[in-house]
Structure 1
Amino acid sequence: MKRFLKSGLVVLFLLLMLFGGMTLHTVSQSQHYSRLVNYVGIVRGATQRLVKLELMDQPSEPLIEYLDGILKELETGDGEYGLPLPKDSNYQQKLAGLSAMWEEMKVQISAYRNGLDDGTTLLSLSETYFKQANDTVFAADEYAARCIQGLNVICIVMLIIMLLTWLFIIWAYWKKLLHLEDTNQKLNDLARRDTLTGVYQLDAFKEEAQRYLDAGHDGKIAFVYTDFSDFKYINDVFGYAYGDSILKRYGEILNRLVGEGELCGRVSADNFVLLLRYQDREEVAARQREADTEIIRFMHSSHNRQSVPTCCGICCVEDVVEDLRIDGFLDRANFARKTVKNGTHSNYVFYDESIRNRLREEKNVESSMLAALENHEFTVFYQPKVELGTGKIACSESLVRWKSQSGSIIPPDRFIPVFERKYMIDRLDQYVFEEVCRFLNGRLKAGRRVLPVSVNVSRLQFFDQNFVKRYVEIRNHYQIPAELLEIEFTESIAIDNTSLLTSIVDQLKQAGFSCSIDDFGKGYSSLSLLKTLPIDVLKIDRFFFSESNDPERDMAVVQGIVELVHKFNIRTVAEGVESESQVEMLKQIGCDYVQGYVFYRPVPQAEFERMLDGQE
């Protein structure tokens, strides 16, 4: 295109110069043609004056010489008057006739002067000569008119070329502007897209989606929130490079999925959102299922041949009664997706009334949890841990329950995820820790029996530089001996950031706290953690003690874990044990403690105190 524009401009400028030169030449020639007409007219008039002077016996040789000079220059185009020699046959014919008559006129003048003619012939010839001169003037004038007409044509053509040149320049500039605008749009669009997957970044997606909503486009719109059920497994086992290749391919698949008036964006990690249009709502799930099938096929065809399913929440705008903006629709699609994550629905879930009720319940929790902390609506329950060697309560785990002002009990799985999502779980952790310290302080002051209590700490705490210092301050405030408090964290925290956790555990140990890993074996356990982390207690997940097709095999795994960690002087706790047979097997393999319904359920503080007092 750029080459074409340059060539076009060069051609137009050359034409413009050519016709400009032709115009200048024609203008110059037109001046000569005007002089030609004038001088032919002079010949006509001067000849009549000459005849008149001759008939009045006043001969004028200078006038004859003057006419001879003009006529000679008219015939040759060479002389002092600068007269042109037009290549026009009609004019040349008239001029030749005029020149011949002039020669005859001079002969008759000589005859009249010598008395050979009485003037009649000369007068008659002068009239004929006048007519011939008149015709020559007309011929010269016609020729000049044609030349001027040609000049007009050239001028018009030149104007057209000038106009075309400007139009070409304007067109080229406009094309350049359009190209620049298109380039800018592409660059802007590229800047708003995720570099790995090629889909829109979240902010750009929200902006475009909100614009669609504000424009009130006809048709039905659905928002889709999708991710992989356990993408962390892919990254941990096969590496981030392979995980990125999956996300990149998934972005390509989703970009092909969306059509005109539809969008795709990436929230973070493996979370994607889409705006899709539909006639029948089942089209949305079908289209998404097709994309998910393709990415699973890609994973199956890779060298690892491993795949994880997707979880998809769908919120149709027509199913929402509230007047929402884009964030509200995405929240609802995400909430529907989470019902897939917790295993209560299939892989593709539409936001509906039941989910709406759960969302409303969650919003109620969100709106009242701060006041609940301030009003001490949270109470601590204690679940005893029984030492298998003695069959007695040796310690316990503190668990939080929410007793609202209405008197209803809100289970932990309804409010803890909300605290985590709103980054307030650390406040709840500290609340429980302080309540445990207050409980222990009260029994110590009363001289009553106390046993160690473990308190749970969320992953958010580990990113707080003042976490250990704050817990030490609370413990010292209530004058609790360090050996009575155990800090418990989940295995997933250890997997996510081993170096950070190691540093925190070292600080906790230096401060005198015991440390334990909860839910061991639930995720993708790494035995190297047992070597790296200076923990005191390992809690074996209830997964090994639930119903199984091969309980003996499960117990063999537990036995291997127990024997291994004992070599590191780590005590073991079996969680979720519900049968006496399991208790007997755990005794045989040397497990230290059991925490489960087979002995005790979580109980309120008052009841737990009665247990402690009764066991003295």
Structure 2
Amino acid sequence: MDEKVLKKRLQRMMGFAIGVGFALVMAGFVFVNMISSTLEGATQENMQAETDEYVKRLNKQIDSDYQLLDTAATLISDSNLETNDNFVTILDEANRDNNFLSMCYFSTSGQGFIVTLGHDPSWNVNLSDLNDEIQRVVQKSFQGENGLSNLFVGDYTQEKVFLYSVPVYKGNQIVGALAATDHVEIFGDILDGEGVMGGTGRIHLLNSQGDFLIRSSDPINDHDVDSIFDPTYGELQFHKEEYQEAMEKQESLYFSFVYDSIPYRMYLAPVGINNWYMCSVNSVQQSNAFVYQIVEILAIFFLIVVGLVAFILFYGYRMVGKHNHQLFQLAYHDQLTGYYNFIYFQQLAKKRVSLHPDGCLTCLNVRQFKFINEIFGREAADRFLKHMADQIASSLKKGEFFCRESADFFYLYLFDRDENVLQRRLQEILDKITNYEEVSDQNYRIMMSCGAVISDQRKMVYSFDQMMTHVMYALDKAKETHQNTIWFFDAKLHEQEVMNNYIEGNMYQALENQEFKVYLQPKMDLETGKLAGAEALVRWQRSDGSIIVPGDFIPLFENNGFCAKLDLYMFEKVCGWIRSWLDQKIEPVEISINQTKRIFFDGRYLQDLQDILKRYQVPASLITLEILEGTALEDVDRFNERIRQLKSLGFHISMDDFGSGYSSLNTLSKLDIDELKIDRGFLMTVSSQRNSKEKVIMETVIQLAKRLKLRTVAEGVETQEDEALIRGLQCDYGQGYLYSRPLPAEDFTTLYLESREGKA
């Protein structure tokens, strides 16, 4: 990215920071709202609990009054006081003792009398002449229920009173009702407490229309109002009709109103008597004043912090904006050369590859750069690196770019895809770099290595990461030479080296896991057309089921010496199969096993073979050891000595691939072998050229072998014509795809040996 992009990023960062700040502010508001909501909930719960408590107190007072009347009614019933001439006097005394305003008794006929404090008793009072509320409650007692009236105006006090009434029984029969009136203010002491809501709330008693029955001293509103729904009591935050309807249904209510710009909460709980309601009023702020102060302090502190952070961000943005050029230089330029560093090069290259995958990634490296430092000094070496960077920069086309990664490593991204063009351009760059007067004048020759990988949509497209991997591989290949070398990445060669690396890295584990499998290829008797034997071949079957063919791993094993371990492994596996055939009463055939030169002359070779034969109890006569002709020709005497040792154990010896190397007929006559295996190349040439000299040579070799009493085997028999040819040349055995491909030992056993025994 350039400076403009950096500036845009800084602007985006600033925008992000502002967004975060705004989010913090919003989070603060949410936090305050959560606190407020929590306090609101706590206030509601507290109001509900205290209101319920006052409802209990009110009901307790009413129950107490009922109990007094019930006691008096029981005395009347048990003592037949209603027939006593002194009943009025007794009732008047009871009234004064219990501080009722008045007490009265009515028989079920509707006749009775009333005693009132401070007044003479009223005789022969007709119930139907009294207040409707008195009649309703007394009639209720005639039905066997306790009754409590709504408020009504008393005859003497002209104040609001209410009436209790209980039934009077004679046995099980109701004979009358005993009633008492009292001021509604008797509940005032219950409701007018300064401890309501911690002293900040008040309790009122209402009817179902919201009218005050008892209004405690109210610090909230000093207006003389009759109802909580009076507009002068407060500005309600709801529709009055909805709440009045709910109160008619005796539902609990919780709502808000505003008075003198202060929000209040009101909770209404049904008392359970005459549709009365207990009403509690409180201010959330007043009841939680301390908590609200803390919340306000936190909010102010939060705003200060947000403001401070905003200031720091703005100031930081100004400072970064002022010095962004210096930051860009520090972040994306090499401090020594002044050109791009590797970080910025990667960004540019990845972007380029994602948009236009065609191009060439190149890596330049100075051979033995450490000696330039040592010989000419650090300052001279740094001047050379600057010279190197300048020469690269002057050789680039518009849009191409490069960087110094570290020390003497330089990466270039070029737009050309033609290897010849790139070869020429890169060579010119190398020539400019190596012609450095300060060093060359002192007879020091600068050598360079250059690796390159081409991404081309017409051939092969690579990602940037793949190009980085491949260019280092190409550079390593270039370093294998000792001159100015440019090496282009070769995918096929790389794949082979990857496979070689896998093989050498996993060969011991594969041997331990028995991933090397025995395959057997039949060897046919050309005279009888029957199975005469088989050659044991190896296949590497990996754990995932894939096969690695011998051509991929045998040459490596011959170079690194692992072939010796594999030869013994295969020998033991073949002995195991022969043992299994013998155990199953299957007549075995002679099996040929290849033996490499490395194991053939090993000091423990004979002992190892004898140990394996002894372990499996297998006769050596069933095994033919195949030796390559090159092994014999290096040292005939030593070779013959080893053959005699092997034959003394009972093994047959075959010379494999005869004719593939520098065969010597004179040497052949000196070898004490049993079988001569003619290389398949002979047969391929003779099959394509019937009158060729190779046919004469092949015929001569077969006849010579017969005279030397050697069996002859022709490899590579693929057609009927091939078989007819070698049969005509009087070859003994044929081996090739005409008869069968190499088969897993299990399949060979089933298809050839068991079928021959009639067990298939």
TM interval, short-chain normalised? 0.3 to 0.5
More strand by share: 2
Q: Which has the higher contact order (CA 8 A, sep 6+)?
A: 1
Normalized against structure 2, the TM-score is what? 0.38
